[in-house]
Amino acid sequence: MYFTLLFFIALFATTSIAAAGHNIYVIPGGDSIGLYLETGIYVTGKYEVATQAGSVAPWSGSDIKVGDKIIAVEGIPVNKITDVQEILSRLEDERDLALKIKRKAETFITSCRAVKTDKNRWSLGLYVKDHILGVGTITYILAETRRFGALGHSVISEELAGEIGYISAGTINGIKKSLPGLPGEKHATLSREPLGYITKNTELGVYGTINNVSDFSSVGKMKIAAPNQVKTGPAEIWTVLADNRKERFTVEIVDVKKQNRSGIKGIKIKITDNRLLEKTGGIIQGMSGSPIIQNNRLVGAVSHVVIDTPEYGYGVFAMWMVENNI
């Protein structure tokens, strides 16, 4: 059985269920959002460079792996791809460059050769990115503090995440259906105007502060359910399938894990809404963070799809998300 995260792109201190947590009220989400997160420069792949002398692999003598984060070149700190391009532009001859690499908790220096392509451009033969851009769903908002929780999982591994990110309005303009073995996805147009800022990227979700509560749902506050209050049986998920229109769809909670401490995949759900199944084939990417509602309480957030049977998926308990964000 295989799973995938539902965002379209270290363990934390565990927390026992607090009695006071049973009286937490939030504004439930379901609104689609765009997420932009600066990650620093991380390696997504390698390629051979076409030069006047033939194809070469500038990285062949280095210890660079996919997923590594480049934090300095020749002793100069770098955070954006343009920072590296500026350093390369000042070179006069091909030569080995010292790259400072972060790999999880390890930091080390390795070398990678800067070569001229047959188009007379400098290259290290590395595919890199410096940000993540995608679509997800708001799970809840704490009205008093304007703190939000979304996704129900991380955007990217914590060691790669930078300190700057924002959320924006997302308008859904198409759906690619899920099929067994092939997760579907929401297609969206994302605004570049920040509606809030990301301050935390964790295993249990993405968190931050919104600018104005009125930019999101006008639904009234709803109580958070403790994990031991979540039961198998009928429930709903709230999500957007078209434009900015949030809708409610029926699901069945088919399994509830006994978790006394924070963890993922605490709730297993099955989509039972025929209209949702016809439109999406089940759970799709971009649906992550969709609130799971049972007995007029926020019990969790959709986070993973079971790839070979996409009508099934998993969610994280809402209590863990909120306690991780207070």
Catalytic residues, by residue number, are 153, 273, 288
> Distance between CA atoms of 303 and 321, rounded to whole angstroms?
12
Evaluated on CA atoms 13, 18, 20, 23, the torsion sign reads positive
> Distance between CA atoms of 160 and 67, rounded to whole angstroms?
8
> Distance between CA atoms of 319 and 22, rounded to whole angstroms?
9
Residue 115 pairs with which residues in a beta bridge? 123
| Rg from Cα positions in the chain | 22
> Distance between CA atoms of 207 and 230, rounded to whole angstroms?
23
Candidates 41, 217, 63, 87; CA nearest to 140 is: 217
Give the length of the chain: 326
Residue 214 carries which DSSP code? G
Give 271-321 as a DSSP string: E--HHHHHHHSS--BT-TT-EEEETTEEEEEEEEEETTSTTEEEEEEHHHH
Reduced to 3 states (helix: H, G, I; strand: E, B; else coil), residue 322 is helix
| 93 to 76, 115, 116, 121, 122: CA distances (angstroms) | 19, 8, 9, 12, 10
